[in-house]
């Protein structure tokens, strides 16, 4: 498992005091209120910043970081990713996983047929869609619903699914 979790990307600056505008990569946008520090990762490496202030504007997060006091300093962080240390995170509820932990897991049917590996996961609003790619590059889209996803075993690197009629043609 990765030590750091990506929770957003700096997409722009905001205002004249050096705030950054962040596109969040999380279901719970208010999680930014609970953060005291953040790691910024870009081509120059990874650096820890203390958070001074968090605001929200049009589904974006506005953040003031200690030591970033001008729009020019904030602009240097544009396109950087925000990371948090996994050890600082609260435990997830039963049956909830970080996407990064699911990517690459092998996907088997409940009759033990290998479908491929999880290549991507995206949200449609009502549920997640798991993109499973086989060794030939063929993609299968599986809804992340209880009728289909039967078991996720992170230790074994395996997801078991039930293919309901009409799901795969």
As averages over each run of 10 residues, the pLDDT of the chain (169 residues) reads: 89 96 88 93 94 94 97 96 89 84 94 94 86 93 92 94 82
Tell me what pLDDT residue 169 has: 62
CA angle centred on 98, ends 124 and 37, rounded to 5°: 115
Domain with CATH 2.30.30.240 in the chain: 99-161
Q: Spell out the CATH class of 4-87.
A: mainly beta
* pTM, two decimal places: 0.75
Q: Tokens 């950087």 correspond to what residue?
A: 80
CA 127: distance to chain centroid? 15
Burial zone of 9 (CB within 10 Å; 0-12 exposed, 13-18 middle, 19+ buried): middle
Domain 99-161 in CATH 3.40.50.10440? The answer is no
Domain with CATH 2.40.30.60 in the chain: 4-87
């Amino acid at each position: 498992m990765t030590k750091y979790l990506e929770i957003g990307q700096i997409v722009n600056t905001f205002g004249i005091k050096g705030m950054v505008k962040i596109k969040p990569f999380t279901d719970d946008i208010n999680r930014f209120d609970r953060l005291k520090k953040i790691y910024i990762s870009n081509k120059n490496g990874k650096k820890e910043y203390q958070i001074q202030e968090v605001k929200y504007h049009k589904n974006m997060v506005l953040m003031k970081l200690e030591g970033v006091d001008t729009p020019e300093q904030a602009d240097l962080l544009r396109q950087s990713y925000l990371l948090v240390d996994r050890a600082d995170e609260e435990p997830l509820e039963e049956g909830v996983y970080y996407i990064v932990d699911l990517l690459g897991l092998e996907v088997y049917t409940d009759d033990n047929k290998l479908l491929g590996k999880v290549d991507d996961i995206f949200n449609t609003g009502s549920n997640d869609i798991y993109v499973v790619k086989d060794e030939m590059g063929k993609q299968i889209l599986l809804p992340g619903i209880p009728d289909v996803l039967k078991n996720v075993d992170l230790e074994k690197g395996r997801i078991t699914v039930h293919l309901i009629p009409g799901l795969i043609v």
